[in-house]
Amino acid sequence: MNQIRRYNTFSNWCNDTFGHPIHKICLDGGFTCPNRDGTVGVGGCIFCGERGSGEHVNAKQTVTEQAIAQLNHYLRRKEKGGFVAYFQNFSNTYAPVQELREIYDKALISKEIEALAIATRPDCINEEIVSLLKEYNKDRKVWVELGLQSSSDETAIRINRGYKTEVFERAVRLLRDNGIDVVVHIIIGLPGETDRDFVNTIDYLNTLPINGIKIHSLYVMKNTKLEVYYNNNEYKTIDFAKYIDLVCYAISHLREDIVIHRLVGECMESLLVAPRWEEDKNSILQTISDKLEKEDIKQGDKKWILH
Protein backbone atom coordinates (compact mmCIF):
# COMPACT_ATOMS: atom_id res chain seq x y z
CA MET A 1 0.00 0.00 0.00
CA ASN A 2 1.38 3.40 -0.96
CA GLN A 3 2.14 5.68 1.97
CA ILE A 4 0.41 9.04 1.95
CA ARG A 5 2.71 11.99 1.30
CA ARG A 6 2.01 14.08 4.36
CA TYR A 7 4.18 16.92 3.13
CA ASN A 8 6.33 17.95 0.20
CA THR A 9 9.72 16.58 1.28
CA PHE A 10 13.12 17.48 -0.14
CA SER A 11 13.77 13.84 -1.05
CA ASN A 12 10.51 13.61 -2.99
CA TRP A 13 11.28 16.90 -4.73
CA CYS A 14 14.74 15.62 -5.73
CA ASN A 15 13.25 12.45 -7.20
CA ASP A 16 10.62 14.48 -9.05
CA THR A 17 13.14 17.06 -10.30
CA PHE A 18 16.26 15.00 -11.03
CA GLY A 19 14.83 11.49 -11.24
CA HIS A 20 17.03 10.27 -8.39
CA PRO A 21 18.26 11.22 -4.90
CA ILE A 22 20.58 14.18 -4.41
CA HIS A 23 23.35 14.08 -1.79
CA LYS A 24 24.73 17.24 -0.18
CA ILE A 25 28.39 18.16 -0.44
CA CYS A 26 28.76 20.76 2.33
CA LEU A 27 31.42 23.37 1.61
CA ASP A 28 33.24 26.13 3.44
CA GLY A 29 34.06 28.85 0.91
CA GLY A 30 36.05 30.96 3.38
CA PHE A 31 33.40 33.66 3.59
CA THR A 32 32.55 35.86 6.54
CA CYS A 33 29.41 37.89 7.26
CA PRO A 34 28.54 41.61 7.26
CA ASN A 35 26.97 41.03 10.66
CA ARG A 36 30.37 39.99 12.00
CA ASP A 37 32.94 42.21 10.30
CA GLY A 38 31.36 45.50 11.36
CA THR A 39 29.66 46.35 8.06
CA VAL A 40 26.24 45.69 9.59
CA GLY A 41 27.14 44.57 13.07
CA VAL A 42 29.52 42.47 15.15
CA GLY A 43 29.16 39.10 16.78
CA GLY A 44 26.56 37.81 14.33
CA CYS A 45 23.13 36.52 15.27
CA ILE A 46 22.94 35.51 18.92
CA PHE A 47 22.61 31.80 18.10
CA CYS A 48 25.34 31.64 15.45
CA GLY A 49 28.44 29.62 16.28
CA GLU A 50 32.05 30.49 15.58
CA ARG A 51 31.94 28.59 12.28
CA GLY A 52 28.60 29.97 11.15
CA SER A 53 26.84 26.57 10.91
CA GLY A 54 29.84 24.95 9.25
CA GLU A 55 31.25 23.20 12.30
CA HIS A 56 31.36 19.81 10.56
CA VAL A 57 33.20 21.03 7.42
CA ASN A 58 36.99 20.72 7.11
CA ALA A 59 37.92 24.36 6.51
CA LYS A 60 41.63 23.47 6.33
CA GLN A 61 41.02 22.00 2.89
CA THR A 62 40.47 24.04 -0.24
CA VAL A 63 36.97 24.11 -1.71
CA THR A 64 38.04 21.64 -4.39
CA GLU A 65 39.61 19.32 -1.82
CA GLN A 66 36.44 19.44 0.26
CA ALA A 67 34.33 18.61 -2.78
CA ILE A 68 36.59 15.73 -3.89
CA ALA A 69 36.74 14.21 -0.41
CA GLN A 70 32.98 14.22 0.06
CA LEU A 71 32.24 13.09 -3.49
CA ASN A 72 34.62 10.15 -3.07
CA HIS A 73 33.02 9.31 0.26
CA TYR A 74 29.63 8.90 -1.38
CA LEU A 75 31.08 7.02 -4.36
CA ARG A 76 32.92 4.56 -2.10
CA ARG A 77 29.60 3.82 -0.42
CA LYS A 78 28.10 3.32 -3.89
CA GLU A 79 25.36 5.84 -3.14
CA LYS A 80 22.97 6.20 -6.04
CA GLY A 81 22.01 9.62 -7.36
CA GLY A 82 23.58 13.01 -7.94
CA PHE A 83 25.03 15.75 -5.79
CA VAL A 84 24.51 19.36 -4.77
CA ALA A 85 27.44 21.63 -3.92
CA TYR A 86 26.15 23.38 -0.82
CA PHE A 87 27.96 26.49 0.40
CA GLN A 88 26.62 26.43 3.92
CA ASN A 89 28.33 28.55 6.55
CA PHE A 90 28.29 32.33 6.89
CA SER A 91 27.22 34.52 3.91
CA ASN A 92 28.21 32.85 0.67
CA THR A 93 27.50 35.76 -1.64
CA TYR A 94 29.48 38.24 0.47
CA ALA A 95 32.34 38.96 -1.97
CA PRO A 96 32.94 40.61 -5.34
CA VAL A 97 31.31 38.75 -8.22
CA GLN A 98 34.57 37.62 -9.82
CA GLU A 99 35.71 36.14 -6.51
CA LEU A 100 32.36 34.38 -6.13
CA ARG A 101 32.72 32.90 -9.61
CA GLU A 102 36.18 31.54 -8.81
CA ILE A 103 35.01 29.98 -5.54
CA TYR A 104 31.88 28.40 -7.00
CA ASP A 105 33.82 27.04 -9.99
CA LYS A 106 36.23 25.26 -7.63
CA ALA A 107 33.33 23.24 -6.25
CA LEU A 108 31.78 22.18 -9.56
CA ILE A 109 34.33 19.48 -10.27
CA SER A 110 32.05 16.87 -11.83
CA LYS A 111 28.95 16.58 -13.98
CA GLU A 112 27.55 14.46 -11.18
CA ILE A 113 27.22 17.68 -9.18
CA GLU A 114 23.86 18.62 -10.64
CA ALA A 115 22.93 21.50 -8.35
CA LEU A 116 24.43 24.49 -6.58
CA ALA A 117 22.94 25.68 -3.27
CA ILE A 118 24.12 28.91 -1.66
CA ALA A 119 23.24 30.00 1.86
CA THR A 120 23.47 33.74 2.44
CA ARG A 121 21.85 36.85 3.86
CA PRO A 122 19.27 38.86 1.90
CA ASP A 123 21.37 42.01 2.32
CA CYS A 124 24.12 40.19 0.38
CA ILE A 125 21.99 39.82 -2.74
CA ASN A 126 22.05 42.34 -5.59
CA GLU A 127 21.43 42.39 -9.34
CA GLU A 128 25.06 41.67 -10.23
CA ILE A 129 25.16 38.59 -8.00
CA VAL A 130 21.81 37.39 -9.30
CA SER A 131 23.11 37.75 -12.85
CA LEU A 132 26.01 35.44 -11.95
CA LEU A 133 23.66 32.88 -10.41
CA LYS A 134 21.55 32.94 -13.58
CA GLU A 135 24.61 31.79 -15.54
CA TYR A 136 25.03 28.75 -13.31
CA ASN A 137 21.31 28.07 -13.44
CA LYS A 138 21.56 27.36 -17.17
CA ASP A 139 23.56 24.16 -16.62
CA ARG A 140 22.65 23.21 -13.05
CA LYS A 141 19.76 23.68 -10.68
CA VAL A 142 20.54 26.66 -8.45
CA TRP A 143 18.81 27.69 -5.26
CA VAL A 144 19.62 30.34 -2.67
CA GLU A 145 18.93 29.82 1.03
CA LEU A 146 18.02 32.95 2.98
CA GLY A 147 17.95 33.13 6.78
CA LEU A 148 14.77 34.97 7.72
CA GLN A 149 14.22 33.19 11.07
CA SER A 150 11.12 35.33 11.80
CA SER A 151 9.03 37.88 9.93
CA SER A 152 8.96 40.03 13.07
CA ASP A 153 11.31 43.01 13.01
CA GLU A 154 11.09 43.13 16.81
CA THR A 155 12.42 39.58 17.00
CA ALA A 156 15.09 40.52 14.46
CA ILE A 157 16.40 43.14 16.85
CA ARG A 158 16.43 40.69 19.77
CA ILE A 159 18.45 38.12 17.82
CA ASN A 160 20.74 40.73 16.23
CA ARG A 161 19.70 39.73 12.70
CA GLY A 162 20.90 43.01 11.29
CA TYR A 163 18.31 43.69 8.57
CA LYS A 164 14.60 44.43 8.29
CA THR A 165 12.10 42.00 6.81
CA GLU A 166 11.52 44.32 3.83
CA VAL A 167 15.15 43.65 2.81
CA PHE A 168 14.41 39.92 2.80
CA GLU A 169 11.33 40.40 0.65
CA ARG A 170 13.22 42.46 -1.93
CA ALA A 171 15.86 39.74 -2.19
CA VAL A 172 13.24 37.02 -2.63
CA ARG A 173 11.51 38.90 -5.43
CA LEU A 174 14.77 39.75 -7.20
CA LEU A 175 15.89 36.12 -7.15
CA ARG A 176 12.54 34.73 -8.23
CA ASP A 177 12.12 37.34 -10.98
CA ASN A 178 15.34 35.93 -12.41
CA GLY A 179 14.37 32.28 -12.13
CA ILE A 180 16.43 31.42 -9.04
CA ASP A 181 14.73 29.19 -6.47
CA VAL A 182 14.58 30.48 -2.89
CA VAL A 183 14.66 28.37 0.27
CA VAL A 184 13.90 30.19 3.53
CA HIS A 185 15.20 29.33 7.00
CA ILE A 186 12.90 29.92 9.96
CA ILE A 187 13.52 29.12 13.63
CA ILE A 188 11.10 27.93 16.28
CA GLY A 189 11.74 29.02 19.86
CA LEU A 190 13.35 32.42 19.31
CA PRO A 191 13.63 34.71 22.36
CA GLY A 192 10.43 36.63 23.00
CA GLU A 193 8.52 34.97 20.17
CA THR A 194 4.87 34.10 20.73
CA ASP A 195 2.65 31.64 18.89
CA ARG A 196 1.16 34.62 17.07
CA ASP A 197 4.61 35.67 15.85
CA PHE A 198 5.16 32.18 14.44
CA VAL A 199 1.73 32.14 12.79
CA ASN A 200 2.50 35.54 11.25
CA THR A 201 5.77 34.19 9.83
CA ILE A 202 4.02 31.25 8.18
CA ASP A 203 1.26 33.52 6.82
CA TYR A 204 3.86 35.96 5.50
CA LEU A 205 5.86 33.28 3.69
CA ASN A 206 2.71 31.95 2.04
CA THR A 207 2.34 35.34 0.32
CA LEU A 208 5.81 35.17 -1.25
CA PRO A 209 7.00 33.18 -4.29
CA ILE A 210 9.38 31.01 -2.25
CA ASN A 211 10.16 27.45 -3.33
CA GLY A 212 11.29 25.81 -0.11
CA ILE A 213 11.66 26.13 3.63
CA LYS A 214 13.95 24.83 6.36
CA ILE A 215 12.43 24.72 9.83
CA HIS A 216 14.99 24.79 12.62
CA SER A 217 14.69 24.28 16.35
CA LEU A 218 16.59 26.91 18.30
CA TYR A 219 19.30 25.21 20.30
CA VAL A 220 21.89 26.78 22.56
CA MET A 221 25.43 26.30 21.25
CA LYS A 222 28.63 26.81 23.18
CA ASN A 223 30.44 30.12 22.75
CA THR A 224 27.42 32.06 21.53
CA LYS A 225 25.60 35.08 22.90
CA LEU A 226 22.57 32.84 23.36
CA GLU A 227 24.59 30.65 25.73
CA VAL A 228 25.25 33.72 27.88
CA TYR A 229 21.52 34.48 27.97
CA TYR A 230 20.75 30.86 28.81
CA ASN A 231 23.30 30.67 31.62
CA ASN A 232 21.96 33.95 33.06
CA ASN A 233 18.38 32.58 32.96
CA GLU A 234 17.46 35.22 30.37
CA TYR A 235 16.41 32.60 27.84
CA LYS A 236 14.54 29.30 28.25
CA THR A 237 14.57 26.70 25.48
CA ILE A 238 11.31 25.52 23.96
CA ASP A 239 9.98 22.22 25.29
CA PHE A 240 9.69 19.19 23.05
CA ALA A 241 5.89 18.94 22.95
CA LYS A 242 5.57 22.62 22.04
CA TYR A 243 8.08 22.25 19.25
CA ILE A 244 6.17 19.33 17.76
CA ASP A 245 2.95 21.33 18.01
CA LEU A 246 4.42 24.27 16.09
CA VAL A 247 6.01 22.08 13.42
CA CYS A 248 2.66 20.39 12.80
CA TYR A 249 1.04 23.81 12.54
CA ALA A 250 3.63 24.90 9.98
CA ILE A 251 3.12 21.80 7.84
CA SER A 252 -0.65 22.12 8.01
CA HIS A 253 -0.62 25.81 7.02
CA LEU A 254 2.19 26.08 4.47
CA ARG A 255 1.25 26.18 0.79
CA GLU A 256 1.32 22.72 -0.78
CA ASP A 257 3.90 23.73 -3.40
CA ILE A 258 6.54 24.75 -0.85
CA VAL A 259 9.22 22.06 -0.44
CA ILE A 260 10.00 21.32 3.21
CA HIS A 261 13.75 20.65 3.28
CA ARG A 262 14.05 19.98 7.01
CA LEU A 263 12.03 19.97 10.22
CA VAL A 264 14.66 20.27 12.94
CA GLY A 265 18.07 21.83 13.44
CA GLU A 266 21.27 19.89 14.05
CA CYS A 267 24.12 20.67 16.40
CA MET A 268 27.33 18.76 17.05
CA GLU A 269 26.95 16.93 20.36
CA SER A 270 30.17 18.43 21.71
CA LEU A 271 28.82 21.96 21.16
CA LEU A 272 25.23 21.49 22.28
CA VAL A 273 24.26 23.12 25.58
CA ALA A 274 20.46 22.74 25.46
CA PRO A 275 17.86 21.36 24.96
CA ARG A 276 18.97 17.76 25.36
CA TRP A 277 16.06 16.42 23.28
CA GLU A 278 17.80 18.04 20.32
CA GLU A 279 20.37 15.22 20.34
CA ASP A 280 18.02 12.58 18.93
CA LYS A 281 17.03 13.80 15.47
CA ASN A 282 15.48 10.48 14.44
CA SER A 283 13.21 10.47 17.48
CA ILE A 284 12.08 14.04 16.72
CA LEU A 285 11.27 13.21 13.11
CA GLN A 286 9.45 10.01 14.14
CA THR A 287 7.36 11.93 16.67
CA ILE A 288 6.39 14.45 14.00
CA SER A 289 5.55 11.65 11.56
CA ASP A 290 3.43 9.86 14.15
CA LYS A 291 1.56 13.07 14.99
CA LEU A 292 0.84 13.80 11.33
CA GLU A 293 -0.45 10.27 10.86
CA LYS A 294 -2.53 10.21 14.02
CA GLU A 295 -4.17 13.56 13.35
CA ASP A 296 -4.39 12.97 9.57
CA ILE A 297 -2.51 16.20 8.87
CA LYS A 298 -1.31 17.02 5.36
CA GLN A 299 0.56 20.04 4.09
CA GLY A 300 -1.77 22.93 3.34
CA ASP A 301 -4.91 21.37 4.81
CA LYS A 302 -5.11 24.06 7.55
CA LYS A 303 -6.51 21.47 9.96
CA TRP A 304 -4.02 21.85 12.80
CA ILE A 305 -4.84 24.40 15.48
CA LEU A 306 -2.23 25.41 18.06
CA HIS A 307 -2.86 24.14 21.56
Mean pLDDT of 46-55: 67
* Percent of the chain at pLDDT exceeding 70: 96
Using pLDDT thresholds of 50, 70 and 90, give the confidence band for residue 58.
low
Residue 258 has pLDDT above 70, yes or no: yes
Model confidence over 183-225: pLDDT tens digits? Answer: 999 999 999 999 999 999 999 999 999 999 999 999 999 999 9
Average pLDDT over all residues of the chain: 94
Q: So what's the pLDDT on residue 3?
A: 62
| Superfamily, domain 10-294 | Aldolase class I (3.20.20.70)
Mean pLDDT of 247-260: 98
Residue 27 has pLDDT above 80, yes or no: yes
Q: So what's the pLDDT on residue 79?
A: 83
Instruction: Give pTM, 2 decimals.
Output: 0.94
Residue 161 has pLDDT above 80, yes or no: yes
User: Which is nearest to 182 in space by CA: 204, 212, 227?
Assistant: 212
Model confidence over 286-304: pLDDT tens digits? Answer: 999 999 999 999 999 999 9
Residue 34 has pLDDT above 60, yes or no: yes
Q: So what's the pLDDT on residue 1?
A: 34
